[in-house]
C-alpha cells in the first residue's frame, strides 16, 4: 500500500487529507498484518490506514516504526507494537528519509540542521 498526505500550503497544517496511491494486491482476511512505517508523528495518516484495513478483517493488525514521536501524537489508540527509537523533534535525512528528493540514499540517519 502507499498513502499520500497533503494539507495546507506547505503540505501540512491542521487540515490535512490522506489518499491511497496504491491499494493492496492480496486479500488480508484472516491474516496477520504488520504495517511498516518509517516515522509515527501525529498518527493521523496511520490511523486512517488502519481504519481502512479493519473492515478487511485481518486476524491481527499491528504497526512497526523505525522512529516514534509519541509527544506529537494526536491519536491515542494506535497499535504501535514495535518502535526502533523514540526520536527527538528534529528533521532526519538518509536511510530512506529525504529533503526535496535529496539524501534519501545515505546509508544511515542524519539530523538536518535548521538555519
Domains of the chain: 2-89 (3.40.50.2020)
> Strand, helix or coil at 44?
helix
Q: Identify whether 41 is a catalytic site residue.
A: yes
Quote the pTM value.
0.81
Residue of 25, 32, 41, 77 marked catalytic: 41
- What is the per-residue pLDDT for 7? 58
What are the 10-residue block averages of pLDDT along the chain, 115 residues in total?
66 63 94 95 92 96 96 91 94 92 94 81
| Length, in residues, of the chain | 115
Sign of CA dihedral 18, 23, 92, 44: positive
Amino acid at each position: 500500500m502507499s498513502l499520500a498526505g497533503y494539507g495546507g500550503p506547505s503540505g501540512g497544517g491542521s487540515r490535512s487529507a490522506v489518499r491511497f496511491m496504491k491499494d493492496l494486491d492480496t486479500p488480508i482476511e484472516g491474516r496477520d498484518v504488520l504495517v511498516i512505517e518509517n516515522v509515527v508523528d501525529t498518527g493521523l495518516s496511520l490511523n486512517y490506514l488502519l481504519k481502512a484495513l479493519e473492515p478487511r478483517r485481518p486476524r491481527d493488525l499491528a504497526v512497526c516504526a523505525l522512529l516514534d514521536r509519541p509527544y506529537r501524537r494526536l491519536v491515542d489508540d494506535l497499535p504501535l507494537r514495535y518502535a526502533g527509537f523514540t526520536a527527538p523533534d528534529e528533521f532526519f535525512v538518509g536511510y530512506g528519509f529525504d529533503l526535496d528528493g535529496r539524501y534519501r540514499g545515505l546509508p544511515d540517519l542524519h539530523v538536518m540542521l535548521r538555519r
